[in-house]
Every structure is written in structure tokens, then in C-alpha cells.
Copies of this chain bind each other. A is one copy, B any other.
Amino acid sequence: MSNEALIVFNPSGRRGRFPLGTPVLQAARALGVDLDSVCGGRGMCGRCQVDLCEGHFAKHGIHSVAGNLNAKTETEYAWELRRGPLVDGRRLGCSALLQGDVVIDVPPGSQVHRQIVRKRAEVVDIELDPMVRLYFVEVQEPDMYLASSDLRRLKEALTYEWHLGDLKSDVRVVQHLQAALRQGHWQVTTAVHNDERIIGVWAGLQEKIYGMAVDVGSTTIAAHLCDLQTGEVMASGGRMNPQIRFGEDLMSRVSYIMMNPGGDEAMTAAVREAVNGLAEDLAAEAGIGVHAIIEATFVGNPIMQSLVFGINPVELGGAPFALATDEAIDGVWATELDLVIHPNARVYGLPCIAGHVGADTAAVILSETPYLGEELMLIVDVGTNAEIVLGNRHRLLAASSPTGPAFEGAQITCGQRAAAGAIERVRVDPHTLEPRVKVIGCDRWSNEDEFAEAVAATGVTGICGSGIIEAVAELFLAGVISHDGVINGSLTRRTPRIVAEGRTWSYVLYQDDERTVRVTQNDIRAIQLAKGALYAGIKLLMEAFGTGHVDRIRLAGAFGAHIDVRYAMILGMIPDCEFDHVTAAGNAAGTGARIALLSRKARAEIEEVVRRVEKLETATEARFQEHFVAAMAIPHKSDPFPRLREAVDLPVAPVGGQDRARRSGGSRRVRLVAQPGNEEPRPPDAEPEARSEGDA
């Protein structure tokens, strides 16, 4: 029998011969196999767990049996006593010693660079590759006969055990080093940033460190708390942005700063305080100390990102909207931002793209990765402004369009934020013109039995963004409003729901003893203005790209999550596209912040991508006004929307006969709940007030 044995690792396929008695972990390291360890093979951390693959492996010429590893050791039993039993047959790689040829499987949980699966399967997964890693070492004790400092011996241990050379060290680490070494009886765990710099030290074995990915919105601050060693999300949560007391929307906050010297500092303090509260909440939820958070990433629109990092955003309040920086903000200390997480934690801010296109959009790009594929992707993130990204691996363009807050339910007569009691779904029967609605917090339609009881807790309080979009689209499909957005007042003959409101008409969507929710002509105008601005911005980017068609549309953020994409297209908010290629991206900004938290490569990637994004400024593009006017019509004055027409019978054909002819032919892959009637809706009655408004 040879005094060496062959070991083959799965899934890498790496193989090599080692002397009998070699620990599996040591063989893995020698072969460059991705097998984790924090304690360096001392049987303490349990991160190097492996499975023996039993059987005959003809390919390798190996008969791999349990007896080809030593029996379970005292170290492993002791570990199980402390930490619970190992999965059946599983071994600690540092305790399992070669006794013969074996095939060893490294389960995903034991891999350092395991894959993090992004939400969309078609997108390349990213590798877990956090900026900060833990290394446990035993440090030589000092010796009168051999003068050498504690830091030098620590570094020597890190070089010897972990092959980390030329490390620098925070002076704050040096301040705590001697006590930690003595308290840990010369065993300490170090946190090393970017394989370059020691930023933390703990007595003994510290097994876990965490990171926080924060998406600072103007309304809500959302964060994920992640285990930096597994990528796992330990807790997620949100808080209202307390800056709301300085102004509801971004521009009113900037105005506040312009009028109130020191207002920026007050807002910076407010947002940081909220982030701290959120950090404490998430740490408590995950059952960890807030000081175990040693890395954080931040994304936000340009104004929020500026305020988090203590930059006065006043220049973003007016032309030319100059950013202080469009680079990533890297390596800022948590203490510089008055954060309560580990004082040596480093904070990374994703780069802003332009004065109106923030780090949140960069994060969306990182999450959606349009820059990786051939297909032309349109990403829309609607808030008070709509951030629009268009491109593929060859080119990437971005712009911001001033949609205003109508899509969020603001500036709508009965509008409100999306909250319990708000109408969020609307259907209008094209024959009876009778509506039915659904309300947030209640799973029945208003025409169903027991709706009144079900909704009693909250009542029906108003209509939110997705509700008003559906209402306008359904009224258009039912012929209540025209292609130009004018309510057909002559329909008062068919339904009592159309009522005069000053010199224009309104449609009564819902009524009970408490409240009347109606859609006014002004509301429709507000939606037309917002969707016209959005569509015009998209058209600008498409023109700049030289395309008339996009392959895929991703709707990011809360807007994208709650809207029914068909109505968005019927209304002409987004360009024509296959319905099943239009999908919600969820909180892509938060996901991007989390990806940047977990992957150094992702940071380099988004920094590089942002540098080559082409920025368009809608305010200075001459064609914007022209596109805007054309896009006021529903769905559009001239764009034919062929795919939409394939799926939905639109009541009015906006251009020449060919489209009208096509409309009643072809397949009907998607049908809305309400079948539109056969008759053409009549053109709106002559109504001078409404028409003059439409002409304006």
C-alpha cells in the first residue's frame, strides 16, 4: 500500500495525491479548492464541512469508502456537543484525515465563493465575495529575547496561516489589539478589509460578521441585514424617512435648505438617525449586536445620497443640477457618518449617475444587469421623477423625466398614498359603465357579497396610484373617455355616474355613506401629463439608441410592484412590448445595494458601467416637448402599439386604417377581465371647456 492517497474534490474536479494522514482541509487548500474556514483548521468554526462520496468512481479509478477517512474524532464530537449534530456522515474537513483514496464533495454551505442567486434566473448569478472577511489566528506570545510588537506577530500569523501579506491596520485596531490578544489567550479573530487592511479584532473566535444594505428613499428607508459569510438576508425592514418633516417631496426639502442655513445638516442628522434606528431594529430581529455590522452600502436618489454622506444637495435644486461627485464613495468610516454600527465599519455609496439619476438607479442597473445581455432592456423606476435606463451590453443610456407625483396618488382629487382603504383595482363594465373596485386590505371586489363588512375596518378612503391608472385605462376602454382624455359628457344619458363638476365632467367611481370617490377631468389630465412625460423620456432614449422597439421592460420600485402592466401599456405609459416581457423588478435598488454589499466584483462592475452610461438631460433636449405632446393621447397620438392591439381591443385607432383593420383580426393572447364592447365609443360631445383644456 502506498503511503499516499488520491483525493478528488467535487464540484471543482480538482485532484491530487497527499500523504496518508493529511487533513482534507489541508489538501483542499493545497489544490486551491474553495473550502471555507475561519478558525484555520482548529475544529472550532465548523465551516469546512465536507461529505464523502461513497462508491466506485471509474473515471478517477477510485473506490471511495468511509474507511478511507479516519473515524470521527474527539474534536468533531466536541464540536457537535457545542453546536448540534453534523448532517449524517458529514465531517469537519480539518478533522477528516486521508487513509485512502476518496472523492469529497464540498457542499454549497462550505464554499467561500458560493453563488448568490439573483431573482431573475436568466441573469448571471453573482459570487459571494464580501469586502470584509474573518480570519482566526494564534499569535506567538511576546518574548523578552526577541523584540517584536504584537501587531507584527499578528501579521506574521496572518501571513503564515492565511497567506495574507503586506497588511495595513487601522490605528483603532492597534488600540484594542493588546487587550484582545491577552483576553483571547493569544487567539484572536481579525476582520480584514479587501485583503489589505485589518479593521477589526476580537478575542478568541468570532464567527459572524454582518453587513447592511440601505436604500434611502425620500419617503421610506429600507434595509437588508446580511450575513457576510453566507450572503443570507437575516432581517429586512423599513422606516419612514424623518426628513418628511422638512418637506414632503425632494424639491420642497431642497427649498427648505435654501431658506434655512444649516437645514442640510439637520436633514443629514435626521436620515442618519433613522438609519441607526433601522440598524438597531434589524440587529435585534436577527439577534445580533449592532456592532457586529462591519460593512454597509447605501443607495438613494442624488439628493438622498448626498444628505446621507453629508453633502449639501443645494446644487441639485436648480440647473445645471451639478453633482458633487459621480463616483462611488468608498471606504468611509461608519463613525464619519455617525452610524452606531461597528465603529471601524466601512461604508460604500454606489455612484450617482447624473443630477437627476441617482445611486438608486445605479443599484437597479446592478440588480437588472441590462449591460450583460444582447436584448434591449428598458428599466423604468417611477417616483416623483421617473428614472429611465435603456440599453444592452453595447450601450447604456439613462435619463430622468419629470412625471410629478400623480402616479403616487398625489395631485389627484381623491388621491392618497397606497395604504389600507385605498382603491387599487378598478374595472368598468363597457355596457353598463358600472364600476367595481378593490381596496387595499380587503380581498373582495366591491360588487361581491359581504364587501361592506369586509371593508368596514378601514372604509374606502380614496384612490392610490395603481387605482387611478386602472380607472383611467378602464374608462378609456369603456369609451367613457376619449383618445384625447376627455370625459364624454353625453354619457350622462346612459349612466348617473357621470356628473358635472364645475365646467367639466367627473366619473363617480365609488360611493357609500361616508365618502364619494370620483375621477375628475383634472385627474385625467394629471395622469396624461405624467404619462406623457414618462413616455417622452423613454422615446428620447429610444431615439438616441436608434431603435423603435424594446425587447424587455422592467418596472422597478413600489410602482412596478403594484401596477398591472397591461394598464400601463393601454394608458401609453410605456412603449409597445410583448406583455409577458413586461415585468415588475421589485425593490431592485435594495437588491443592488445588497449585491454591492456582498461582492467586491459587483462594486467594480457597477462603477465601470456607470462611467460609460450615456446621460440624456430631458430638460435640454429639443425633441422632448414634441414627444411629450404626442404622448398626451391615450395610448399615443401616433405610435401604433401593434403588440398591445394584438392582445387588447382598443376602442380608438389612433392612426390610419391599417391599424384599425388589424385590430379585429389576429390572436387574442391576453384578455382583460372586462370584454370591451363592439361598438365604437362615440366621440366626446362638443364641450368647449374640456376641449380648450385639451388643446392647451
Contacts and interface: CB of A to CB of B under 8 A. Distances in A.
A578 interface: no
B149 A323 contact: yes
Interface string A152-181: 100000000000000001011011011100
A434 interface: no
B355 A171 contact: no
Given A171-B329, A329-B171, A178 B322 contact: yes
A303 to B, nearest CB: 13
Contact of A147 (B144, B329, B615): B615
Interface in A297-335: 309-312, 314-315, 319-327, 329, 332
Contacts of A314: 178
Given A171-B309, A179-B312, A355 B147 contact: yes
Task: Please state the number of chain copies in the assembly.
Answer: 2
Contacts of A322: 142, 149-150, 178
Interface of A: 142-145, 147-152, 169, 171-172, 174-175, 177-179, 309-312, 314-315, 319-327, 329, 332, 336, 352-355, 615, 617, 619-620
21 contacts: A142-B322, A144-B320, A144-B617, A145-B617, A145-B620, A147-B326, A147-B354, A147-B355, A149-B325, A149-B327, A150-B315, A151-B323, A151-B324, A151-B326, A151-B327, A152-B326, A171-B309, A171-B310, A171-B332, A174-B325, A175-B310
Nearest to A326: B149
Among A175, A321, A354, max chain B CB count under 10 A is at A175
A25 to B, nearest CB: 31
A620 B144 contact: yes
Contacts of A355: 147
Given A143-B320, A174-B325, A177-B324, 5 more contacts: A142-B321, A150-B315, A174-B329, A175-B324, A177-B325
A151 B169 CA distance: 28
A236 B261 CA distance: 40
A309 B147 CA distance: 21
Contacts of A152: 325-327
A354 B319 CA distance: 60
A679 B5 CA distance: 90
B320 A149 contact: no
A611 to B, nearest CB: 10
Contacts of A172: 336
A324 B144 contact: no
A314 B309 CA distance: 38
Contacts of A178: 311-312, 314-315, 322, 324
Among A172, A175, A177, A325, max chain B CB count under 10 A is at A325
B617 A149 contact: no
Among A145, A152, A322, max chain B CB count under 10 A is at A322
